[in-house]
Structure 1
Amino acid sequence: MMTHAEKRSAVLSIGRIYCDLIFTGLGHLPVLGREIYASGMEIAAGGGAFIAAAHLAHAGRKVALAARLGTDSLSTGVEEQIRDSGVDLRFIEHADDAGPQVTVAAVVGQDRAFLTRRAGPALPATLDAALDWDEARHLHIAEYATLHEIPDLVSRAKEKGLTVSLDPSWDATLIYDRGLLQACEGVDLFLPNLEEAEAITGSADPEAALAKLSPAFPLVLLKGGAKGAWAMSNGRMLHAPAETVPVIDTTGAGDAFNAGFIDAWLNEASEDACLKAGIRFGSRAVQAAGGAKLLASGD
């Protein structure tokens, strides 16, 4: 018989769901007044909440999305992809004003630029039911913008006995907010990348940025792409190098890293093993266009 501790092993992932239009094979980014052509394009379900959830599901972790999804054709199209990923959709709220929600990604080499349209509020009507889910052990907040819209989200999760992770994600209107760290009080795992950490702390050096972030969180993870990743807790810093793999598209690699780290962390692995798991998941994600696209082939 399954024990209560074993039953509570699932992850609840909250955030906006996007239809990603990903253009690859570009020599440079578009400029005003001129047209350029991409040699490749993918249409994929996106958003950090889904991408992390898809990688968790691929790892065998039960995971559900708490999110709003539109009723337009683009939203309907990505819902089919999300369902095929094995992610539990019981806490999806369907609403006309939740779509279309789109991100256009222009990929040049190992870098990319994004153009995004958000639709409607982030708060799903299903949130209370999601937090009451008796299998949930952990809440992953895929972007600070979601917490900004639902400021009591962390405290509500903690009241239900959940651990919490948060990826600030890049949002120029919020990433420089001086109240960001205070708003994240109660978060167990803080998961910025180097650019986000620099914006929050003013420090480009990973060690200096970690030193400034560490007092606010029990565990801080810093994602550096080709530079690998760092972790700091209780003043102790670890670094793990990146894997050498063919890179097609880095979209969603950070979210895949989050999934790998969270999955290992929930399995009570060492921080070093958690870092390596995150890098392994992120390395898999960059080998196809779309943060969860490669998973559809069963790789």
Structure 2
Amino acid sequence: MTEPAPANRYDVMVVGEYYYDLIFTDLPTLPRLGADIWAKSFDDLPGASYTTALALTRLGLKAGWWCGFGTDIFSRMVLDEVRREGIDEGLFQWHDGPLRRVSAAFSFQHDRGFISYVDEHDSDPKAHDVAAARPRVLMLQGFSRNAERLALINGARQAGVLVCGECQHLDFGIEAEGVVDVLQALDIFVPNETEAVQFTGTADAETALEVLAQHVRTVVIKRGANGAIAIHDGRRYTVPAPKVEVVDTTGAGDSFNAGLIYGVLHGAPFEEALRYAVICGSLSTTDYGGRALPHEADLLAHVSQDGKERQAR
């Protein structure tokens, strides 16, 4: 008699590091050498892949986060928030020593910059780690073109796991060795507009989308206040963003990714899943540092209202 397949332990396995963000806002100008710039507002909170894990958790998905933590104060502050928010700790990697990852963000209404420091970068999990986690989706933060990343993706897909990857400020482009191999192994690729243009060396997001879609079945380009464009199974999609009062864009891309995954895992048609993503990304900008990441009820209420408004047009 055949044994039944084991149930999924996680809906999503997030692979990516934490950063502790120091966020300076209401700045009179960009920071520059020789000038003492005073922010009118300041906040501090966990960021990077913490935001993705939190966004998924708030949407009611079981998210496991592969991330290393040390004995330093920044690790402890992130862990305090993890436990307060009820994020699963089952995939955490523990280090006997400091593992500081800090970013100072200077944030404006429609974009932001960072100055960052890291003691040590995390290693990717292996295919057997993914098999043990039994996720439905593997969410890879950042882009790596090494053999280990490619083996991880291929191993996950062979186990029936959907693999979603993003970009994040690369110092190489699509022409670099190994990049196309990784792209072709992914199920979904979700860069933002700036990243997509720089990555492909094209003039605009529309051209970048066409280039990337030659290698990945599903490409989604996040365009901030302009919503998103995508190509899925050869068909092109455009979804506008709802109008919101933008306070801070930090974490918007992570919230967007969570909304897209939520839609995919709930069996929504692709265009509807893309709409979930745009709504989640937009709602997250209404407070500082991703504090407005929507809960499932917030998303569904906005989806319902959006549907009524579209029917009335």
Residues 283 and 294, structure 2, Cα contact 8 Å, conserved in 1: no
In the alignment, what sits opposite 1:188? 187
Residues 154 and 184, structure 1, Cα contact 8 Å, conserved in 2: no
Alignment of 1:18-167 (within 5 A): 18-47=19-48, 49-96=49-96, 99-123=99-123, 128-134=128-134, 136-145=135-144, 150-167=149-166
State how far apart, in whole Å, the 2-side matches of 1:149 and 1:288 are. Answer: 37
SS of the residue 2:195 aligns to: helix
State how far apart, in whole Å, the 2-side matches of 1:191 and 1:70 are. Answer: 30
Instruction: Indicate yes or no: 2:176 matched with 1:178.
Output: yes
Structure 1 position 181, deviation (Å): 2.8
State how far apart, in whole Å, the 2-side matches of 1:240 and 1:206 are. Answer: 14
Structure 1 position 147, deviation (Å): 6.5
Going from structure 1 to structure 2, the CA distance change for 1:222 and 1:34 (only over 3 Å counts) comes to same
Structure 1 position 129, deviation (Å): 3.6
SS of the residue 1:132 aligns to: helix
Structure 1 position 115, deviation (Å): 0.9
In the alignment, what sits opposite 2:303? none
Going from structure 1 to structure 2, the CA distance change for 1:14 and 1:177 (only over 3 Å counts) comes to farther
State how far apart, in whole Å, the 2-side matches of 1:147 and 1:113 are. Answer: 27
With 197-206 and 102-111 compared, the bigger mean Cα shift is at 197-206
Structure 1 position 185, deviation (Å): 3.1
Cα distance per residue 1:255-279 (max 9 Å; x no partner): 1100000110111211110111001
Unaligned runs of 5+ residues in structure 1 are none
Residues 147 and 153, structure 1, Cα contact 8 Å, conserved in 2: no
Residues 194 and 223, structure 1, Cα contact 8 Å, conserved in 2: yes
Instruction: Indicate yes or no: 2:292 matched with 1:294.
Output: yes
Letter in 1 for 2:85: S
State how far apart, in whole Å, the 1-side matches of 2:60 and 2:294 are. Answer: 14
Going from structure 1 to structure 2, the CA distance change for 1:278 and 1:6 (only over 3 Å counts) comes to farther
State how far apart, in whole Å, the 1-side matches of 2:252 and 2:147 are. Answer: 23
Letter in 1 for 2:69: L
Cα distance per residue 1:134-170 (max 9 Å; x no partner): 3x11100011149787442212322332110001111
In the alignment, what sits opposite 1:201? 200
Q: Cα RMSD between the aligned structures?
A: 2.5
Identical-residue share of aligned pairs (%): 31
Residues 137 and 163, structure 2, Cα contact 8 Å, conserved in 1: yes
State how far apart, in whole Å, the 2-side matches of 1:148 and 1:115 are. Answer: 29
Instruction: Indicate yes or no: 2:13 matched with 1:12.
Output: yes
Unaligned runs of 5+ residues in structure 2 are 299-313
TM-score by length of 2: 0.85
Residues 255 and 293, structure 2, Cα contact 8 Å, conserved in 1: no
Cα distance per residue 1:243-299 (max 9 Å; x no partner): 1111111011011100000110111211110111001110121111113x2349996
